[in-house]
């Protein structure tokens, strides 16, 4: 790499690291506040999940940061007539822009790796931390007040004492939704929070209890499960790697074919026997409902896979447009150039991305090309701007 290119690359890296650090810190605290509001975490718990929030926010900050970086660096270089001096020395402007293009490609690959590998790991780690925090918070409540009450579903837990994670002389009164109260007494119990299944697993020692409409029961040891307040959350596609999404697609496609075959057999049997009322029975309607759910899962996973590639590549496309545009706007302020470049992206690029994503999830368009429409629209504008820079 030539001396001039190393100089430009050094400026790009320096400005990029500064800007991405500031934006990431701001977004991390915003994400931490959101997570705290959702799960009821305190300051100590928030500090524990902060390191895992950073990688999950980088894919959103990197493209905008790269655009601001090339705007600042090339706007200053052009304003100081360094581009003019390089052209006078026989050096093409493309040579000056090449470091930003290379950096854009590298950051696009890095963003893809973050969304595919790092973010699923970070989301899993946050869930595990929250599960551990819930257990600690719950035990602290029992240790302090010796009673825990929740209304939906109704459950009351009282204890004589708490030693570590062990409940001494616990009493459980649990009322399932639409059911009658179950009373359980034990000498001791240990708790385990399973956030994935959204249940609290209780290991009871020397227990006895009363179940409505049944006789009392006793036992040396037993395990009971009580649901957490929220319903089980379906694992989001964003929390899974591309490999896992593709493996899931294989299983979903197999289930989809089985459902279609089953529905076709039932339909053929109904038509052959003249039992047309069979077509409106709950079993046939259930086939249709299951087919709709499976189709939605297929298009959602396909959209997620292609959107990751398209959004990660936005780093390169933003650079392809921002660098030449900043050189043309050399006489303007850097912030003005950034706004002039970023505003069309904000009002056109991202709405198109979200529109295509929504249409892809509704199975209206094919995400294999739909998710690249916004990037493709940048190319002619960037090519026109680059030609003007190279010509003048």
Region for residue 213 given its phi and psi (left: phi exceeds 0; alpha: psi -120 to 50; beta: otherwise): left
Give pTM, 2 decimals.
0.68
Task: Give the pLDDT confidence score for residue 178 in this predicted structure.
Answer: 65
How do residues 129-182 score in pLDDT, each as one tens digit? 766 677 777 777 788 788 887 776 678 888 888 887 788 888 888 777 666 778
- Tell me the per-residue pLDDT of 90-144, one tens digit each, with 9 for 90 and over: 888 888 899 999 999 999 999 888 888 888 887 777 777 766 677 777 777 788 7
Name the residue ranges covered by the structural domains of the chain.
Answer: 3-134+305-391, 153-227, 237-297
pLDDT of residue 101: 93
Phi, psi of 363, rounded to the nearest 5 degrees: 65, 35
Six token digits for residue 107: 């950051």
Give the C-alpha separation, 162 to 184, whole Å. 17
Beta bridge partners of 162: 167
């Amino acid at each position: 790499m030539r001396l001039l290119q190393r100089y430009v690359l050094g400026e790009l890296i320096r400005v990029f690291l500064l800007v991405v650090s500031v934006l990431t810190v701001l977004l991390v605290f915003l994400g931490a506040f959101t997570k705290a509001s959702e799960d009821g975490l305190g300051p100590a718990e928030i500090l524990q999940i902060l390191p895992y929030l950073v990688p999950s926010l980088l894919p959103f900050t990197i493209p905008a940061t790269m655009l601001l970086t090339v705007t600042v660096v090339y706007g200053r270089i052009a304003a100081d007539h360094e581009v003019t001096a390089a052209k006078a020395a026989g050096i093409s402007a493309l040579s000056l822009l090449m470091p930003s293009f290379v950096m854009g490609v590298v950051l696009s690959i890095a963003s893809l790796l973050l969304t595919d590998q790092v973010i699923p790991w970070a989301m899993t780690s946050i869930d595990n931390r929250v599960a551990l925090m819930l257990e600690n918070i719950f035990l602290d409540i029992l240790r302090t007040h010796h009673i825990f009450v929740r209304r939906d579903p109704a459950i009351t837990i009282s204890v004589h004492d708490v030693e570590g994670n062990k409940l001494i002389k616990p009493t459980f009164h649990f009322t399932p939704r639409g059911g009658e109260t179950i009373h359980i007494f034990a000498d001791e119990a240990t708790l385990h929070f399973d956030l994935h299944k959204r249940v609290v697993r209780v290991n009871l020692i020397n227990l006895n209890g009363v179940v409505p409409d049944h006789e009392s029961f006793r036992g040396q040891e037993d395990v009971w499960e009580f649901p957490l307040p929220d319903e089980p959350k379906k694992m989001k596609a964003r929390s899974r790697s591309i490999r896992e999404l593709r493996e899931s697609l294989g299983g979903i496609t197999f289930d989809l074919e089985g459902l279609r075959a089953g529905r076709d057999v039932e339909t053929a049997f109904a038509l052959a026997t003249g039992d047309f009322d069979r077509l409106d029975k709950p079993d046939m309607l259930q086939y249709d409902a299951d087919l709709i759910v499976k189709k939605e899962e297929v298009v959602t996973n396909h959209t997620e896979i292609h959107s990751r590639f398209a959004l990660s590549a936005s780093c390169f496309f933003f650079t392809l447009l921002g660098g030449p545009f900043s050189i043309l706007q050399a006489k303007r302020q850097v912030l003005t150039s950034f706004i002039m470049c970023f505003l069309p992206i904000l009002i056109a690029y991202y709405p198109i991305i979200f529109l295509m994503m929504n249409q892809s999830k509704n199975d209206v368009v094919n995400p294999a090309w739909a998710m690249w429409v916004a990037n493709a629209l940048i190319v002619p504008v960037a090519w026109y701007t680059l030609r003007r820079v190279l010509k003048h």
